[in-house]
Amino acid sequence: MTKNFEQKLKDLLKKNQKFVNKEGDLIKSEIVNHASNVNKDLVGLLIKDKEIRNTFFEKIEDYWVFNLNKFIEYIQDKNVFSNSVTKFESKIGLNIDGKYLNERGEVSLVWPFKDCVLEGGMTKEDQKERKEIFFNEILAKDEIDRLFEPKALTNFKKYTQKGEEKVKDFKRDENATIKDNLIIKGNNLLALHSLKKEFTGKVKLIYIDPPYNTGNDSFKYNDNFNHSTWLTFMKNRLEAAKKLLKNEGVIFVQCDDNEQGYLKVLMDEVFDENFISNSVVVINRGGRDYGGIARTHEYILIYSKSPLKELNFIEEADKKFDYEDTKGGFNLMELRNRNILFNKANRPNLCYPFYVNPSKEDKNGLLEIYLEPKNGFVEVMPLKSQGIQTVWRWGKEKALENLNTEIRGKLKQDGGFMIVQKYRKTTKRQRSVWDDKGFVNERGSEHLKELFKGKKVFAYPKSEYLLARVIELGSEPGDIVLDYHLGSGTTISAAHKMNRQYIGIEQMDDSTDVSYQRIKKVINGEQGGISPKINWKGRGEFIYCELLKYNEEAIDKIQDAKDTKTLLKIWEEMCEKYFLNYDVQIKKFNDNKKDFEKISSKQQKEFLIEMLNKNQLYVNLSEIDDSQFKITKEDKELNKKFYRGN
């Protein structure tokens, strides 16, 4: 943003005297306070100017929505809005956002390029030639806006039990939301932004198993800030994904020790500290036998978009009960509330006597009880704990309704009596340690080998049992599940079998092919993974499509080139067809081809890729009618239907 823009904003804010001190300087803390409360005087002032409106507001449908976080960050980052005192405080680190350091309660995670956007193209395992660029949110707003525009889609295919079919339209529900299952091939950051119009606020569950940044996975970036690059990569995508979540939506992110600590703080920031759990999942019971300790686990960080008290209970389908009556099986649970914070002093309505008949015992060894005293009956009060009179979990009215059906007396080993409840639940809370033999990675590997006739098509795939548990905890049938690091397709495989709608995004060719072929097998009734458990017989369909490549296509060609001669032919094609950076001097390159031929193949590829404009990797939807992209009439029509005419 230019100095002229800063001055324009400064002059505009000075029109409100509340924002100006006696010296004529703007009061930053007052402006921030008004922005935090979305004060109508401030918002009304900002929205009148077109340039300022386009900078700090987002248009959703026919409404302008104030991006208060972006506005506040801009105000705080610019010394031009501070008086001499606050400028000095900022320089020496005493004052942040109007508060001194000892007044602030949160932890901030800071790293190089935090405020930038990393387009982040994944590459093949053996290729690291692609240099990424970081778009600065302040200096490159126009470039970022263009980068995040919805992309044109191509290569549409539908698969049903009848086989592959042409896509003619998209199914929509009563709210006009697309109801088709989707697999989208392309850069996941750009795909997430392309989904905004159709799916903002509609996704119930996101699960991702992102690159762990270990140096041995598919996260290949050739830069000097690898750790910081990973955090930027994750932040950009988490922020975009959050917008797609429903208010009650949840996200599960799996990771290992390499980045878990930093990722936890980052997710606290992105998801407003709506933390649910940092669960441990045992993925290798024998342990990876190297290092100081044999490592058996990974982590699943769970957050909600808005404050959320609980996740779904999990079903215990094979649960066995110790007792049985006319209603079915049950176990016994003492009716006493063992939490000593709940006691007679603060819960007097939960402290009252039961009266037990010691001689009236049924086949389950349970005794007849009453709430009123009778001859021959023994009075039973909740036991004391640490000298404090505890209470029952149920009030007297509810207990009266359930006497001798759900509440009974039981003889203890010491000859005393206790009051018990018949516990019939077949569900329970998920524990924070996920230790189930079905969750280990080995189960995922075995499943894929069965599907692909013994071939190893993916390294360390997650178990379908693990993803079924995630889906059970975070969604209901019919909800939308999103995985934008699709990999081998385990998430969408489990989601399909469990009657969830899903969206899977993947950029790597090999992974996309594996997930595509896998879901075809699921539709046709494959019997691996959770299929036997849920009696899966096969059904359903999905639509596949791709972000329409442009400069990304040239990058693919460069990375696949085998020799210098091929690279020079690609260079000629780049000059004729693709978008080069504005500062590329074509004539100078052509005059020095001999020098180009002397450098290594790796350097040649790096050089050519660097010349391509990274803002033109894919075709923007707004350019769909441009003849140079040669988009078919059929694709144009399907794009209009996907984006509802926009």
CB crowding 29-58: b at 16 or more within 10 Å, else e? ebbbebbeeeeeebbebbeeeeebeebbbe
pLDDT of residue 434: 97
How far apart CA 60 and CA 63 sit, in angstroms, is: 5
How far apart CA 274 and CA 203 sit, in angstroms, is: 17
86 C-beta neighbours (distance < 10 Å), count:
19
Q: Please, which pLDDT band fits residue 146 given cuts at 50, 70 and 90?
A: confident
Average per-residue pLDDT for the chain: 87
Give residue for tokens 């009696």.
535
pLDDT of residue 121: 62
**pLDDT > 80? residue 3:** no
CB crowding 12-28: b at 16 or more within 10 Å, else e? ebeebeebeeeeebbbb
Q: Please, which pLDDT band fits residue 219 given cuts at 50, 70 and 90?
A: low
| Residue 540 C-alpha from the chain's centroid | 25
How far apart CA 129 and CA 124 sit, in angstroms, is: 10
* Closest by CA position to 314, among listed 479, 207, 426: 426
How far apart CA 60 and CA 618 sit, in angstroms, is: 23
Give residue for tokens 């001190």.
21
Contact 308, 252 (CB under 8 A): no
| Of the listed ranges 258-267, 337-346, 384-393, the one predicted with least confidence | 337-346
H or E segment and range at residue 596: helix 593-598
* Closest by CA position to 214, among listed 460, 458, 441: 460
* Closest by CA position to 283, among listed 392, 435, 177: 435
pLDDT of residue 98: 52
| Residue 646 C-alpha from the chain's centroid | 27
Classify residue 369 as left (phi > 0), alpha (psi -120 to 50) or beta: beta
How far apart CA 344 and CA 381 sit, in angstroms, is: 11
Task: Look at the chain and count its residues.
Answer: 646
Contact 230, 134 (CB under 8 A): no
pLDDT of residue 58: 86
Contact 530, 468 (CB under 8 A): yes
pLDDT of residue 69: 79
The CA dihedral of 267, 270, 276, 282, to the nearest 10 degrees, is -30
Rounded to an integer, the average pLDDT of 467-487 is 97
How far apart CA 244 and CA 195 sit, in angstroms, is: 8
Contact 534, 497 (CB under 8 A): yes
pLDDT digits (tens, 9 = 90+) for 81-138: 544 444 444 444 444 455 544 445 566 677 777 888 887 665 544 444 455 667 776 6
C-alpha distances (whole Å) from 491 to each of 194, 212, 439 are 21, 18, 13
pLDDT digits (tens, 9 = 90+) for 289-319: 777 888 899 999 999 999 987 899 998 877 8
**pLDDT > 60? residue 246:** yes
**HSE toward the beta carbon, residue 22, CA cutoff 13 A:** 0
**pLDDT > 90? residue 212:** no
Contact 489, 519 (CB under 8 A): yes
Paired tokens of 343: 């006691």
pLDDT of residue 131: 57
E strands in 518-576: 542-547
pLDDT of residue 89: 43
Give the SS3 label for residue 83. Answer: coil
Percent of the chain with pLDDT over 90: 59
Strands 275-282 and 297-304, sheet pairing: antiparallel
pLDDT of residue 93: 45
* Burial of 451: CB neighbours in 10 Å, binned 0-12, 13-18, 19+: buried
C-alpha distances (whole Å) from 412 to each of 28, 366, 378, 406 are 69, 11, 13, 18
Contact 509, 549 (CB under 8 A): no
* Closest by CA position to 464, among listed 493, 427, 433: 493
| Of the listed ranges 111-125, 431-445, 506-520, the one predicted with least confidence | 111-125
Q: Please, which pLDDT band fits residue 620 given cuts at 50, 70 and 90?
A: very high
* Closest by CA position to 72, among listed 40, 100, 31: 31
pLDDT of residue 214: 67
Rounded to an integer, the average pLDDT of 409-425 is 93
Q: Please, which pLDDT band fits residue 218 given cuts at 50, 70 and 90?
A: low
- For the chain, list the domains and their CATH numbers: 3-103 (no CATH), 116-305+444-545 (3.40.50.150), 323-425 (no CATH), 551-617 (no CATH)
How far apart CA 182 and CA 547 sit, in angstroms, is: 13
**pLDDT > 90? residue 353:** yes
H or E segment and range at residue 427: strand 427-428
How far apart CA 453 and CA 392 sit, in angstroms, is: 58
* Closest by CA position to 31, among listed 61, 51, 56, 50: 56
Give residue for tokens 């009960």.
321
